[in-house]
């Protein structure tokens, strides 16, 4: 049995190496590659991914998992090996339930759809994208079909991003959250808007870069196991647990983009850098779920980076770097400015109070599309109507409405809710951390991030993908994912800022 | 048959994609990777290489090649498809003759040997490296054994780098070359040395970088299919024919390192960028041999970059960039300075007139080691004695003697001669180009490199690996590789510089 386990680990190691190869090639494509290399790079990645899929779904792997079943049952169910076999089995079953020709066909359809979407978005022309979206919706419904029986057609899609989590759980959480958030935004809307024009001055890229580096170095980002580069869209990627890289982007006339983007990606990277090194090159060398991952990026970006304590140290530093731009702005004005709440059209630019509403709208539409109760042709009208209802604005066109995100164009239904769940988890973990580190705000004010990172390492990071997200959150906080802490956090913060 | 050819091309495409993946990972390791990623990266590359080897030596490939044999014989022997099948067959036979466990064992031995060599070199301690070199010599002799029958034990090693070329051919060439080079150096040694202290001043890295970029952009390096970065040792790598990258390095107190290094790597890159795009992702998407590759790098570095014509335009530019350093230096003094001949200990720092002697010494020793007529334990003494004989200097220790190069530490016997052959081929091609472009020097003086590059593209680059090196040189110049043009080149150039 030890031999078989060793063999499985060896196979998982090879799969991890192949995945790392794809990731390195994708990172290079987004960070370094000359434009002329694009076509070849597409083929190179496709070849590696095909080989990876063959290995991950091989009969050899299936037989090993079958053989290891009795062994797993003898082990302590919470031991690393038992969990490794369990997670590997889950991944294997998910991948082998889907026929290879479906996978290939879906890859083709979604590649075409993405390029059509790009043009459709530029021209705000939903109609040209419609047949592609219809095909993707149909194929995702088919995909869900491979995982029958289920309670809800959306369950298998959600499960790809949040292992073990059910549609109904997410709906319940969002149903509690929605009225509170809508009410908060309404209340803020009645108050005078805070000043923030100073964020839109000319901020040199070089100085922005250096400031971001200073922040994340203090956060504890490990430069001997990572690096930061520039790319069109910021992202985090890892090639095993010992090389976890982030990217950022700059807007010369808007300070928050790079600053908070860098903190956000650093949050993701700290998670990956903190996973138990023993799990390297196995199925456990990953985050617990997208939501848990997002909880880490959002925590460093928002609960820390957009907190008042954070700027006790960093605002004087920032003023040293940009004395002209921030000359007459005191720390309180700055703090309010970076936390301004204003319903807006674009999700990725949304503030903390409105962000989740963008997500809820998408989730409702995804569920309806999957159920078949909403047809693609009616989706733009429904989008606009819901947007008006939740955020009080009517999108002027589809480019700034239903076409704004790439997710549906690659068929990524099930992905969006993880962003909002991540926000909730970040606050839920934060309350627990505050209880265990009573001087938390003080530590942040003094840039002593070690205890914060140590707490996250011990409670969240080290476990990697060993636990399912609900299980992990329960284990740490004593309850499954719940919206109350996030609601408390929002209400406290914005009551103070807007004098509600 | 068309179907089988298509299938073979598909397999070759996958192999090319896997090779590209390894190359990207190696490039990243040398250019970007944080130090903590080294161990994982080693495993990732090893996994990809093992999969590549399996595919390249698969039974499927063997059967396809067998099936395609009659088809190949019907085709015009010089057609792309006939040559593709031929080259693929040659590569397949070479790879399958060597047992897989030997390949794995050799990889292990050479990995260990390289790390021992590094330490041995630092301490100038040949004795600690000796057993590893003995093992490598023994294994290379064994390797040669897999390719019996041959005329000379060194033939199969040479063939890995110079397909089709025989040891005896190289020996004949070098035997002609050696006395001429020794005599030239002796004659120069009697003359007064040229001034070159101005090369050792403080030259800012940024300005050196910009100057190098300006030069290779004029050479015709295609930035939409390549890029330049910094690395500890300069190299060229390609990920298919559409992404060919170079690296360079800087010495703040020695101008020639980056400047000529950049031109050298650009020469390699222009070759790869110029290969027929139809050959992409096949066995023909490669240089004809290491020597032909080196002929291209040496041509741009030396025959162009170290020529008097080149500096007609570029010396005034260089003086604009470094006015203080070059204030009192006229172009003639500069030209002589960058061409100074001086026997020295280290191959990679050798000038054009002495370089080949470093190589000949190594080739003689490699042949003797393979024949068994020289024992590893006696190699340092023989090295020193030959060095004194050819270059007039006695190495003060093994670090600056037999331990200076990494090649033997990875078992790369057969590699060194290609450097000297490359020099010869560069001059041989140059004479032919001069005959066909009579205003060649004038064009260079005006930085009109297009006709030069066009000539190389048409005669050398476009063919990729379609022809064996001797065949290609014969096809272009009317004779196989011969030392006369290089001897004529050296004698003319240095007679003028040193007033011989």
Does B7 contact A at CB distance below 8 Å?
no
Biggest CA pair distance of chain A: 70
- Find the CB nearest B44 among A17, A43, A47: A17
Question: Which of chain A's residues have a Cβ under 8 Å away from the Cβ of B241?
Answer: 40
Return the percentage of chain B with pLDDT > 70, whole number: 100
CA angle B27, A29, A102 (to 5 degrees): 120
DSSP-derived secondary structure for B354-365: HHHHHHHHHHHH
Give me the count of residues in chain A.
500
Does B71 contact A at CB distance below 8 Å?
no
Contacts of A166 (CB under 8 A, 6+ apart): A151, A152, A155, A158
Active site residues of B: 265
Does A41 contact B at CB distance below 8 Å?
yes
In Å, how far are A484, B145, B366 from B385, measured between CA atoms? 83, 30, 15
Neighbours of A62 (CB within 10 A): 14
Does B107 contact A at CB distance below 8 Å?
no
In Å, how far are A327, A415, B76, B156, B287 from B163, measured between CA atoms? 70, 53, 21, 9, 11
Q: What is the DSSP letter of B45?
A: H
Structure tokens at B326: 């070059």
Question: Which of chain B's residues have a Cβ under 8 Å away from the Cβ of A227?
Answer: 32, 34
Name the residue among A308, A262, A295, A293 with its Cα closest to residue A440: A308
- CB distance A43–B224 less than 8 Å? no
A265 catalytic? Reply is yes
B264-309 pLDDT tens trace: 999 999 999 999 999 999 999 999 999 999 999 999 999 999 999 9
Alpha carbons B324 and B322: distance in angstroms, whole number: 6
DSSP-derived secondary structure for A418-467: HHHHHHHHHHHHHHHHHHH-TTHHHHHHTT--HHHHHHHHHHTGGGTTSS
Structure tokens at A256: 């928050």
> What does residue A364 show for φ and ψ, rounded to 5 degrees?
-60, -40
Question: Which of chain A's residues have a Cβ under 8 Å away from the Cβ of B32?
Answer: 227
Where on the phi/psi map is residue B163: left (φ > 0), alpha (ψ -120 to 50), or beta?
beta
Biggest CA pair distance of chain B: 70
In Å, how far are A165, B273, B372 from B367, measured between CA atoms? 68, 35, 8
Does B276 contact A at CB distance below 8 Å?
no
Does A28 contact B at CB distance below 8 Å?
yes
Name the residue among B121, B189, B197, B496 with its Cα closest to residue B357: B189
Q: What is the DSSP letter of A400?
A: T
For the entire predicted model, the pTM comes to 0.94
Alpha carbons A446 and B374: distance in angstroms, whole number: 68
Alpha carbons B189 and B342: distance in angstroms, whole number: 8
Residue B100 has pLDDT above 90, yes or no: no
Q: What is the DSSP letter of A282?
A: S
Nearest chain A Cα distance for residue B7, angstroms:
15
Alpha helices (H) in B32-125, listed in sequence order? 38-56, 59-74, 80-97, 100-122
Interface of A with B in 298-317 (CB under 8 A): none
Question: Which of chain A's residues have a Cβ under 8 Å away from the Cβ of B239?
Answer: 37, 40-41, 44
Beta strands A236-238 and B228-230 are: unpaired
For chain A, 500 residues long, give each residue's pLDDT as a single digit of tens.
899 999 999 999 999 999 999 999 999 999 999 999 999 999 999 999 999 999 999 999 999 999 999 999 999 999 999 999 999 999 999 999 999 889 889 988 998 999 999 999 999 999 999 999 999 999 999 999 999 999 999 999 999 999 999 999 999 999 999 999 999 999 999 999 999 999 999 999 999 999 999 999 999 999 999 999 999 999 999 999 999 999 999 999 999 999 999 999 999 999 999 999 999 999 999 999 999 999 999 999 999 999 999 999 999 999 999 999 999 999 999 999 999 999 999 999 999 999 999 999 999 999 999 999 999 999 999 999 999 999 999 999 999 999 999 999 999 999 999 999 999 999 999 999 999 999 999 999 999 999 999 999 999 999 999 999 999 999 999 999 999 999 999 999 999 999 99
- CB distance B18–A222 less than 8 Å? no
In Å, how far are A81, A118, A221, A442, A463 from A458, measured between CA atoms? 19, 42, 16, 21, 8
Question: Which of chain B's residues have a Cβ under 8 Å away from the Cβ of A19?
Answer: none
Residue B447 is predicted with a pLDDT of 97
Residue A108 is predicted with a pLDDT of 87
B173-194 pLDDT tens trace: 999 999 999 999 999 999 999 9
Contacts of B41 (CB under 8 A, 6+ apart): A239, A243, B25, B28, B29, B33
- Find the CB nearest B243 among A18, A33, A223: A33
Residue B108 is predicted with a pLDDT of 87
Nearest chain B Cα distance for residue A292, angstroms:
25
Structure tokens at A413: 């239904």
Does A53 contact B at CB distance below 8 Å?
no
């Amino acid at each position: 049995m030890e031999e078989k386990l060793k063999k499985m680990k060896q196979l998982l190691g090879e799969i991890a190496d192949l995945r790392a190869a794809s990731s390195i090639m994708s990172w290079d494509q987004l960070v370094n590659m000359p434009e002329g290399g694009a076509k070849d790079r597409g083929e190179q990645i496709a070849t590696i991914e095909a080989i990876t899929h063959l290995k991950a779904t091989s009969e050899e792997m299936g037989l090993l998992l079958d053989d290891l079943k009795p062994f797993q049952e003898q082990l302590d169910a919470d031991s690393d090996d038992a969990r490794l076999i369990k997670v590997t089995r889950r991944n294997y079953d998910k991948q082998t339930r889907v026929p290879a020709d479906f996978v290939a066909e879906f890859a083709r359809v979604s590649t075409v759809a993405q390029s059509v979407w790009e043009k459709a978005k530029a021209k705000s022309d939903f109609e040209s994208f419609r047949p592609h979206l219809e095909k993707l919706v149909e194929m995702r419904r088919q995909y869900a079909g491979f995982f029958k029986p289920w309670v809800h057609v959306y369950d298998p899609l959600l499960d790809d991003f949040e292992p073990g989590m059910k549609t109904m759980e997410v709906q319940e959480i969002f149903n509690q959250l929605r009225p509170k958030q809508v009410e908060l935004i309404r209340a803020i809307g009645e108050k005078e808007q805070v000043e923030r024009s100073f964020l839109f001055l000319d901020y040199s890229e070089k100085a922005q870069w250096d400031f971001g580096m200073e922040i994340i170095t203090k956060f504890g980002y490990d430069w001997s196991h990572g690096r930061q580069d520039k790319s069109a869209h910021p992202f985090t990627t890892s090639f095993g647990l010992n090389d976890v890289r982030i990217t950022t982007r700059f807007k010369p006339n808007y300070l928050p983009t790079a600053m908070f983007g860098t903190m956000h990606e650093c949050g993701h990277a700290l998670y990956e850098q903190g996973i138990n090194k023993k799990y390297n090159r196995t199925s456990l060398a990953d985050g617990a779920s997208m939501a848990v991952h997002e909880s880490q990026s959002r925590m460093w970006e928002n609960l820390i980076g957009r907190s008042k304590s954070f700027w006790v140290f960093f605002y004087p530093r920032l003023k040293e770097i940009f004395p002209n731009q921030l000359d007459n702005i005191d720390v309180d004005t700055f703090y309010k400015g970076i936390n301004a709440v204003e319903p807006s059209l674009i999700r990725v630019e949304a503030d903390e109070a409105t962000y989740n509403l963008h997500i809820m709208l998408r989730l409702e539409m995804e569920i309806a599309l999957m159920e078949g109760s909403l047809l693609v042709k009616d989706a733009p009208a429904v989008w606009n109507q819901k947007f008006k209802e939740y955020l009080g604005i009517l999108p002027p066109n589809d480019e700034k409405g239903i076409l704004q995100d790439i997710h549906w164009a690659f068929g990524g239904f099930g992905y969006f809710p993880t962003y909002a769940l991540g926000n909730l988890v970040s606050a839920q973990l934060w309350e627990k951390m505050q209880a265990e580190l009573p001087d938390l705000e003080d530590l942040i004010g003094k840039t002593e991030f070690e205890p914060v990172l140590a707490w996250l390492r011990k409670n969240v990071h080290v476990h990697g993908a060993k636990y399912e997200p609900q299980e992990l959150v329960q284990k740490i906080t004593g309850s499954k994912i719940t919206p109350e802490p996030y609601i408390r956090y929002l209400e406290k913060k914005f009551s103070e800022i807007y004098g509600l």
